[in-house]
Amino acid sequence: MFAIGLAGLAANLTIVSLLGRSAQRNINIRGAFLHAYGDTLGSVGVVAGAVLIAVTRFVLVDTLIALFIVVLIGASTVRLLRDSARIILEGTPADLRPEEVAEAIRSIPAVRGVHDLHVWTVTSGLVVLTGHLSVAGNATVQEAARIVEAVQQRLRDRFQITHSTLQVDSLQDEMIAPADVTRMNPP
């Protein structure tokens, strides 16, 4: 029992050390890391249990060690499930506040407002943003492109959002009353 535990421990420690460097950047690697981490704890438990049983003859120590390992693995699994659910349900990343993102966008001089802002995680490390930018007057295509470029640069620099789809709306267009559809769709 002791020799098998040591062999498993050596193999699992190698795997944990290899995966540990990337575990926080990628949720899939984190899942593999937690699996190897659980196996490592199991190996430590086998070795510790073998020593304690040999010394004390108290066989329930094996069960107590197993329960302790279950609690440790369970806590890590809950965090992994929560983060996975946030990605699957296209939730806003936990460390990102949409209000801060909107404020950063509005701080760009040409932008008067931002609405229909959506921020979500597609996969580990890839945060996506869509939104509408309100600008004063009628921006030319070139001006709109410069505004979008400035916003995208701000999103990359401040929030590491590298994929964004932005629509530029004129404040003048937004002031059209909903009943005034004839202006948009002449007879």
The model's pLDDT over 126-143, given as tens digits with 9 standing for 90+, comes to: 999 999 999 987 888 899
Mean pLDDT of the chain: 85
Sorting pLDDT into bands at 50, 70 and 90, what band is 163? very high
Sorting pLDDT into bands at 50, 70 and 90, what band is 172? low
Tell me the whole-structure pTM to 2 decimals: 0.67
pLDDT at 157: 97
pLDDT at 130: 97
Residue 69 parent element (H or E): helix 61-88
Sorting pLDDT into bands at 50, 70 and 90, what band is 182? very low
- Is pLDDT of 105 > 80? yes
Domains of the chain by residue range: 2-88, 98-184
Sorting pLDDT into bands at 50, 70 and 90, what band is 179? very low
Domain at 98-184: CATH code: 3.30.70.1350
> Using CA atoms, how far apart are residues 27 and 48, in angstroms rounded to an integer?
31
The answer to whether the Cα torsion of 21, 26, 29, 35 is positive or negative is positive
Count of other CB atoms within 10 angstroms of residue 182: 8
